[in-house]
Structure 1
Amino acid sequence: MMYCTKNDMITTFGEPELIQVTDRANTGVIDDAVLNTAITTAQAEINIWLEGRYPLPLSSVPEVLRRIAMDITRYYLCGDVNNDHPVARRYAEQTKLLRSISRGQASLGLDSAGVKTTAVDTVQISQGRNDFGDRSRW
């Protein structure tokens, strides 16, 4: 399962940008081969960070991982960019997040089997209820 798709990239960054960074033959369209290579390269980099913490391949792709994959893919598509460039800064932020995930300091929201976890013992709010009692009696 790919962490991001061509459609994800178009929705997030726009077709004009993807044409600009993939169309090396000046055809005026997105070069799928170039884009797929960048997506695959980004996924391989992500897997290096995840392999010690999660069983791969993952059974589902959490939204945070999709976002990480898109930013890393974009970085590879842009080639050599200055460290001050927004694409390079986003890449650095995402690799920092991946480092935190690999160390167990952050989570993808998946259990050890790679399945999405659900929150337990959460706060619930219901209109018209006062579970803390009547303040006038304090």
Structure 2
Amino acid sequence: MSYATLDDLIARAGETEIRQIADRDFDGAIDAHVIAEALAHADNLVNGYIATKYTLPFSVVPDLVRTWAIDIARHRLHHEAPPEWVVTDYDNAIAALKDVAKGAITLPIASGDTPATSSGTTMFAAPEEVFSDHALRGWRC
């Protein structure tokens, strides 16, 4: 299930703008594969941030997530030179997603959806100490 749809993009930006940025074969029609790629990119980016805090997929997409996906997809569709307001919306969406990942924003989720729980697995390990007493012998003042 995609977080946003073509209708969502049109509601946000208008059909004229979406046609202009998604008609890559210049036949006057919105190219479905271009929209699908932009929406998939937005879904993947959103999932990358929120999967750290929430179990996916959501049974009901929160409105905030839909809004962020729309802004990310719209930015992707403006692939050559997005207008300043599109860049601002994209930057705000990414900042909000980072806040979700940090736990600064909690999404209003349906009762059946649950926040992700830690598996207790170590995701990374620190390297061995580089500047140990042994490694620095002879370099002290």
Short-chain TM bin: 0.7 to 0.9
Runs of 4+ in structure 1 deviating by more than 3 angstroms, as ranges, are none
Residue 96 of structure 1: aligned partner: 95
Aligned-pair identity in percent equals: 32
Number of residue equivalences: 114
Q: Which whole-Å CA distance do the structure 1 matches of 2:101 and 2:109 have between them?
A: 13
Aligned to 1:35: 35
Question: Over residues 80-109 of structure 1, what are the superposed CA-to-partner deviations in whole Å (9 max), with x where a residue is unaligned?
Answer: 336x71111111111000000111100111
The CA distance in 2 between the partners of 1:4 and 1:74, in whole Å, is 11
Q: How does 1:51-66 map to 2 (within 5 A)?
A: 51-66=51-66
Superposition RMSD in Å: 1.8
Change (3 A) 1:113 1:80: farther
Q: Which residue of 1 aligns with 2:12?
A: 12
Shift of 1:59: 1.1
Unpaired segments ≥5 residues, structure 2: 115-141
Deviation sequence 1:107-132 (CA, Å, 0-9, x none): 111279526xxxxxxxxxxxxxxxxx
For residues 95 and 81 of structure 1, the distance between their equivalents in structure 2, rounded to whole angstroms, comes to: 18
Matched AA of 1:23: D
Q: TM-score, normalised by structure 1?
A: 0.77
| 1:72 aligned partner | 72
